[in-house]
Chains A and B, each alone.
Chain A
Amino acid sequence: MTIEANDPAMAIATEKSASLRPVLEWIARRVEPIVIGLAAILFGLSLFSLFILAVGKSPATLFQLMYTGGFGSWFSVQNSLSRAAPLLLTALCVALPARLGLVIIGGEGAVVLGGVAAAAMALPLAGTAPVFLSLVLMAIAAMAIGGIWIGLAGFLRHSRGVNETISSLLLSYIAIALMNQFVEGPLRDPASLNKPSTKPLPAEYMLGNIPGMDVHWGLVVGILACIISWVLIEATSYGFAARIAGGNVRAAQIQGLAVGKLIVGFTALAGSFAGLAGMIEVAAVQGSANASLAAGYGYTGILVAFLARHNPLAIIPVAILLGGIDASGGLIQRRMGLPDATVLVLQGTLFIVILVCETFYGRFKVFNPDLWKRSL
């Protein structure tokens, strides 16, 4: 192997020792998404600042309020963490299928149905079954229906070639209609007048807070789900097989991989996480299933997954960051007189810039070990 001395990165690698190179490669591959991602976020924030200037407000004040509202005090940190909990799970609903090259955007439907299933399961149990058992059964019901819902999009993709982006979105609208039917019909609590909902869960059957914090257990569940997904993707043969199938379906089939089972399995797992988000929303926040379940967590989850480049561990900080931005929306509205959609504009801007920056991956030689020895 000939080594050109005038490549700085390679020169460093050879000077130290040959065994250092894998370490540098490892670092380079992990630093690249962080550098490009942060640059993209900064650029997105600058664009958003221009927008805020154009509507005659001060971006500095806005960012300061965003910090105060999201992370400025222990109270606001806890608020941000609570809002991050469902985002962790709905982001996984996008990130896991993305490993197979599938773009699923219908997580909202799985959230909504998961919430309804959890409420339907809890109401006969509440008062008779032990609390823990009741919560576990709620989670199982929510995960089952969420898994079926998104798994169906995966199944249709594999068996019929139906585009999963569109089918998952259609399923999401169907899910919301189903929720309205259940909440207005068979499951409706006659006492809920203006805002139809199911009967409320007894307080002792609610998912409580983490000891010492004002944050419900959903956060722990979400973080655990991210870690489990990371292990599944990075350290098991399933994750490896999924990556091959996502890269080239033909090649995977020739290798004898069960592509259909992978697709259905990954989408079903993804959907069950989103369903779990619905259960947590019912059991920890709302106390009953109602139209508030369709609060857009499914859609923000798409953004979180793309920002984290579909890496389950990166989802954790990104979800907390976006949870913080969400949490600061009210403060911005009150103090600056800006509409609550300000946060949506920021999210949209960031999302677009992040996607445009995909184009820079692999272009910078410093980050790309494959180019180190080939360069001049």
Chain B
Amino acid sequence: MEETAIGIWGVPLAVFAGAIRVSTPFIFVSLGETITERSGRINLGLEGTLVFGAMTAYAVAVITGSPTLGVLAAMMAGAIFGLIHGWICKFPKVNDIAVGIAMMQFGLGLAFFLGKSFIQPVAPKLPSIPLGGWATSPQIQAVLNINVLFFLGAALALFLFWGFKNTRIGLILRVVGDSTDAARAMGIHPDQVRLLATAAGGALAAIGGAYLSLYYPGSWNEGISSGQGLMAVALVIFARWNPIGCFLAALLFGGAGALGPALQSVGVTKGYYLFYAAPYVLTLIILIATSSPTRSLAGAPGALSLTK
């Protein structure tokens, strides 16, 4: 194997490469969830949206031959899922966390149902940008071969960070998220804002799914997501509803997820399966460390049911 050529240095290199490769879906789902949660609503159904987005993107890419069309179709599907979630949560006495769990099961079921016939065909992959031309080592070249969606996600994080602070739409989102009454007093319709914010969150989560099926691991199957959509919810809390924080936290998660395979590639096989748990353990530790029983979380939108 090539790994032996650079020996033990292969581990940090593989973790770095993994962080970039694995983090992209986390970036999109967590940015989407940030938009939704900033409006005061939580969507646990993003796991279902992610998987349905992965299926839609793959199916459309197989049929049309264009991965870009696949991503766009996934966005549409994700937005529809978000609209359904947002519409249902408008009814009084309906618990948004429970609806999220239901939407997750529905999304998974529908994706498995409609995606059955796309397990065999091969879809065209999303393009990536080779930044490693200067390097002589094939490993470093591989590491720096980065997918376009990663850059889009990074740009989106910066844009959202700026947008929340400096635009009128950002202000409206924050007001609705902090106080339904204050928003009403300003003449804003909180339900409409939350509906659109949930739709936007769904569209972004579906892009994360499209990345999974069209780039890495790059095929459609029923086990394509292992909770990325749900971990993103924890990641948003960790990132304190800050888009740039989401981007960095996603990189951290990606790195944790890549640790197991990286160690295995250099011959560390003891406790191999436990390394698969690393991102989940990391999330849990972070949640424990950053939560408090007495005060609500710093930076949390006031109307969010999750943190009450």
Contact = CB atoms under 8 A, between A and B. Distances in A.
Interface string A106-142: 0000000000000000000000000000000000000
Interface stretch (B72-80, B100-108, B120-128): B100-108
Contacts of A330: none
Interface in A327-367: 338-349, 351-352, 354-356, 358-359, 361-362
Contacts of A355: 88, 94-95, 98-99, 102
Contacts of A161: 291-294
Contacts of A342: 113
A63 interface: no
A374 to B, nearest CB: 19
Contacts of A156: 287-288, 291
B293 A341 contact: no
A160 interface: yes
Interface string B270-308: 011110110011011001100111100000000000110
A301 to B, nearest CB: 12
Contact of B107 (A174, A180, A348, A358): A348
A165 interface: yes
Given A178-B274, A303-B105, A344-B108, A171 B284 contact: yes
Interface of A is mostly: helix
B93 A352 contact: no
A181 B274 contact: yes
B97 interface: yes
A177 B280 contact: yes
A302 B307 CA distance: 22
A160 B307 CA distance: 12
A170 interface: yes
Contact of A359 (B92, B227, B231, B237): B92
B99 A352 contact: yes
Nearest to B92: A359
A167 interface: yes
A227 interface: no
Contacts, number: 143
A185 interface: yes
A166 B109 contact: no
B62 interface: no
B248 interface: no
A60 interface: no
Nearest to B230: A169
Contacts of A351: 101-102, 105-106
B4 interface: no
B288 A162 contact: yes
Contacts of B108: 344, 348
B20 interface: no
Contact of A356 (B91, B231, B274, B294): B91
Contact of A170 (B92, B94, B284): B284
Interface string A136-177: 000000000000000000001011111101110111011001
B233 interface: yes
Of the candidates A103, A171, A351, the one having the most CB atoms from chain B within 10 angstroms of its own CB is A351
A299 interface: yes
Closest 4 pairs between A and B when the two form their complex, measured CB to CB: A348-B106, A344-B109, A341-B112, A177-B277
Interface of B: 44, 88, 91-95, 97-99, 101-103, 105-110, 112-113, 116, 226-227, 230-231, 233-234, 237, 271-274, 276-277, 280-281, 283-284, 287-288, 291-294, 306-307
Given A169-B227, A174-B280, A359-B92, 18 more contacts: A156-B291, A160-B291, A160-B293, A163-B307, A165-B101, A166-B234, A170-B283, A174-B277, A174-B284, A177-B273, A180-B273, A185-B271, A339-B116, A342-B113, A348-B106, A348-B107, A354-B102, A358-B93
